[in-house]
Structure 1
Amino acid sequence: MSDPFWAYLETLPGKSAALFDWDKALSGWDRYPLFRDNFLQLTKNHATAVDCPTECGLGCPRSVITHAKTDIRAVCIEKEHAAIQLSPRQTLIYRLKQSAINGAICTAMGIEHREAKLDGLPHTWRLGDFIPTAGMDFPVVLTMQDSKDALVEVVRSLCLSTPKPFVVIAPTRLHLSPAVETLLAQKDSLFVALNEDLYLGDAPRLLTCRDKTEIFAPLIDQVPGPDSGGTVFFMTPPGTTWPQIKIQFRDGHTVTIWAGDQSGRYTYTQMGMASRKNGNPTEQWKLLEGFANSSGEIDWHSRYASDKLKKQKQELSKHLREFFRLDDDPIEWVKDTKTYRCKFRILPEGAEVY
């Protein structure tokens, strides 16, 4: 059975309620005191109404009437039931401590926490990114809507503003509709219901019911492997920088690459540097080999320089950024010596060091 607070959150406008209401909805849950003390935040407001605890079928709230400091009552406006005595604390408004719950979700699910509120989308936060391998990231968005139509509008907006596949997280599947599923399928994106995958443990932190590789399997499946037949990319360890990468030519068509605990052999085709016309190595691959034969540096006096060197360097940098999934330029321009210099180590066939 899933933790009940996920479903309750979808019934709360503003994600806040009187303590009386939080108690009424969640007091039968054994983790409620832990949740209340760590994920709810006291506001300065007092309730003017609370949910009716009786089963009369009307579903109307009870008005909070203060007769004296110690005489506060929840009154049935239909006069169907007797008033309920409330303590002053029960009338205090508590809201979800959003930053705490967002951080706990990220920690539990292995999401790189880069939180930001999304303008124009109510009760919606960019939590961060799921990163199955360095440089390949999937934005993760948490949204807490109270209707199917509201969820459709949020997902439609995300589809228009997010160029890559992404993850939508919601408390439950209650408001998931065929329209939302269609929009996400068109973007190769994923929906995750928190009540199915996260629960509150004995400590004030969330735990997963499934391993994150299972939760995010549809996204991980989008990561091509070295044996996929065409252009692939290197499984760059998270946090890797260009100086931590070493490339060595094995022959005119193949290199071996090392970065952290990852290594492998790749052809020019796998690295995206095969001609579309005839399948031969491109000028960018030849330039990469030129860097290997020149201790990682090429200037305008090099035998590998030409009037197209600047353009070829730009194209080579683009291929390397895509292959390693790193954002910054792998080849720098050294102004003093008018030299293009690799930030990574690159060696020719048979070399040991340079």
Structure 2
Amino acid sequence: MMMRISKFWKTLDALTDAATDRREWASLLGDEFGCVVVDEPDCPLPLVRSTGTPATSISCPSPGGEGCPRRIVHHEDGSIRAVCGDSPKACADLDLNMSDIMVYSLDRVGLARSIASALDLSNSPASFDRRAVFKIGFHDVFAGRGFPIFLTVPGPVPSEDAAQFDDVLAHPGPKLLLAPTTSSIPAHLAAGLDRNGVSRLALDDLLELNDRGDLRPCQPTTVMFADLRAELARGMENADSNLAWALPTDARWEEIGIRFVADEVVNVSFRGETRRFEPDGLGMKSAKDGKPKAAWTYLKAIAIQGGRLPVHHARSADTSKHQKQKQALSKALRAAFGIPDDPLPTVGSDYVARFVANADDLQQGIQGQSRRKFAG
């Protein structure tokens, strides 16, 4: 069974620094309290944690008087009481225990990781900083091509400094900013983001909690992000791009076949489809003289030798030269097909192609070249 946690998202808008005493968290969250507070029995989503610091005051019912908030008084017998400072008293004094007055705070890193996992984002940072707005990953549309997603939890008094959105605005193309609710970002700042092409969505509308305590999207991300995905696809069609083939996000090098049918022509196959490329189509043609780059020569050598070439050579200069060619080829192939993994990892003493490399259609004279005499 899925559960919405709307009170939690709205509470993040209400609390300065997303922190307050445990008693107020319980009051604001109601039946969602046990879902997110870390020391609650069977808490499924531990996002609110004790800071280990007791509060010195307790909030008052609204509207409060001049003596608000209620001051916490520790008595010699160990009892704790929240005392109204107004005269006459505007609200009742409260008897409390130590648990009530401990300050609990949102685990921002835990929240960011939970959202990134729920939305299946790629390239999530190894660590998250505490800036007001920060990137939590990318939603991939094609292999190696997607748009960034940013998160902000501004609280009840958001910063008026538009510079906090500089990293968002600096990213070309579509980008998405997430906030707890549609009201989290002040209207004038939201209008500025809209004018600069920043899409905004509320976590309250996107995510819900499953029985295992995991945040999950309310709809498939392909549906929720349909407009952004279409915008990115249009941008790739209308702009110069070094992407030779927009492959699905789950594409693997092992599904790619590269077959030389002529010295400067390859047929690339993927999941039953084949496309023809020359060096310029794969980013391997020199702009200076129009000839294939060394990376193309290395690709041909890999194909001739059945997908393996040695790492080390008799002369260190040759080893260094071939290493540079291998690195250039890996970079070009990643750019051409968007698959981020290394297409030519080192296995033992060889560079080994993860794709299927073939040069059987080339002239027989080429087939007899020495395994160690291939560099251009």
TM-score, with length taken from structure 2: 0.67
**Which range moves more in the overlay, 325-334 or 136-145?**
325-334
Alignment partner, residue 22 of structure 1: 25
Q: Deviations over 1:236-264 (max 9, x none)?
A: 65484x56642124677561323xx6854
| 1:109-188 pair list within 5 angstroms | 109-112=119-122, 113-118=124-129, 121-122=131-132, 124-146=133-155, 147-150=157-160, 152-160=162-170, 166-173=175-182, 174-177=184-187, 179-180=189-190, 182-183=192-193, 186=196
Q: Is the 8 A contact 1:76 1:83 kept in 2?
A: no
Q: Which runs of 5+ in 1 are unaligned?
A: 300-307
Change (3 A) 1:66 1:267: same
1:117 partner SS: coil
Alignment partner, residue 55 of structure 2: 47
Measure, in 1, the Cα distance between the counterparts of 2:325 and 2:152: 44
Measure, in 1, the Cα distance between the counterparts of 2:28 and 2:66: 18
Q: Is the 8 A contact 1:18 1:93 kept in 2?
A: yes
TM-score, with length taken from structure 1: 0.71
Q: Is the 8 A contact 2:114 2:215 kept in 1?
A: yes
Q: Is the 8 A contact 1:115 1:127 kept in 2?
A: no
Q: Is the 8 A contact 2:180 2:202 kept in 1?
A: yes
1:127 partner SS: strand
Residues paired across the two proteins, number: 334
Q: Deviations over 1:156-202 (max 9, x none)?
A: 24434x5775432211233154545545764x654332111112344
Alignment partner, residue 65 of structure 1: 73
Q: Deviations over 1:254-312 (max 9, x none)?
A: 61323xx68543544764568999xx99668974567545645799xxxxxxxx99998
Please, what is the CA RMSD of the aligned residues? 4.6
Q: Is the 8 A contact 1:115 1:125 kept in 2?
A: no
Measure, in 1, the Cα distance between the counterparts of 2:214 and 2:120: 13
Could you tell me which of 13, 17, 20 is aligned with 2:16?
13
Measure, in 1, the Cα distance between the counterparts of 2:159 and 2:116: 27
Counterpart of 2:332, as a letter, is: H
Counterpart of 2:226, as a letter, is: A
Alignment partner, residue 268 of structure 2: 256
Measure, in 2, the Cα distance between the counterparts of 1:24 and 1:81: 19
Could you tell me which of 112, 135, 149 is aligned with 1:102?
112
Q: Deviations over 1:191-249 (max 9, x none)?
A: 33211111234442223222111233344231479998985434165484x56642124
Counterpart of 1:347, as a letter, is: N
Counterpart of 1:111, as a letter, is: L
Alignment partner, residue 319 of structure 1: 332
Alignment partner, residue 347 of structure 1: 358
Instruction: Return the structure number with greater strand share.
Output: 1
Identity %: 23
Q: Which runs of 5+ in 2 are unaligned?
A: 311-320, 368-376
Q: CA deviation at 1:43?
A: 2.6
Q: Is the 8 A contact 1:114 1:129 kept in 2?
A: no
Alignment partner, residue 304 of structure 1: none
